[in-house]
Amino acid sequence: DAKTTQPTSMDCAEGRAANLPCNHSTISGNEYVYWYRQIHSQGPQYIIHGLKNNETNEMASLIITEDRKSSTLILPHATLRDTAVYYCIANPFGGEGTSYGKLTFGQGTILTVHP
């Protein structure tokens, strides 16, 4: 799996957009970018994923650069309940190999939304 790098922490004002960056400069062509979040003492929750194109769902938007070396998760109108640790991971599409099926997480970004 490609290594991902995220800032340790970020702050955002309630109601504003939260933009969380992720660097995955070693990502390979068959690796999807996934975002999860973990609210304190709970299991992580899937947010969104993408391969090349930008994606949007009811929770967030994912912007992937054209060279796929970085991406940004956007929470358009952050609320206090969005305070959590956000994980960006790269996951192989498939095929054989030592990392096939392996799903590894980094340290994530602690997002704090304040009133």
Partner 1 sequence: DGGITQSPKYLFRKEGQNVTLSCEQNLNHDAMYWYRQDPGQGLRLIYYSQIVNDFQKGDIAEGYSVSREKKESFPLTVTSAQKNPTAFYLCASRRGAEGNTEAFFGQGTRLTVV
Interacting residues toward partner 1 by CB under 8 A = 30-32, 34, 36, 41-46, 49, 51, 85, 87, 91-94, 100-108
Of residues 94 and 115, the one with the C-beta less far from partner 1: 94
| Beta carbon of residue 105, minimum distance to partner 1 (angstroms, whole number) | 4
| Beta carbon of residue 101, minimum distance to partner 1 (angstroms, whole number) | 3
Tokens of 103: 């799903």
Of residues 41 and 115, the one with the C-beta less far from partner 1: 41
Nearest-angstrom CA–CA distance, 104 and 110: 18
Of residues 56 and 107, the one with the C-beta less far from partner 1: 107
Tokens of 111: 């997002």
Of residues 11 and 46, the one with the C-beta less far from partner 1: 46
- φ, ψ for residue 84, nearest 5 deg: -175, 175
Nearest-angstrom CA–CA distance, 106 and 19: 18
| Beta carbon of residue 87, minimum distance to partner 1 (angstroms, whole number) | 7
Tokens of 78: 């952050």
Task: Give the CA radius of gyration of the chain.
Answer: 14
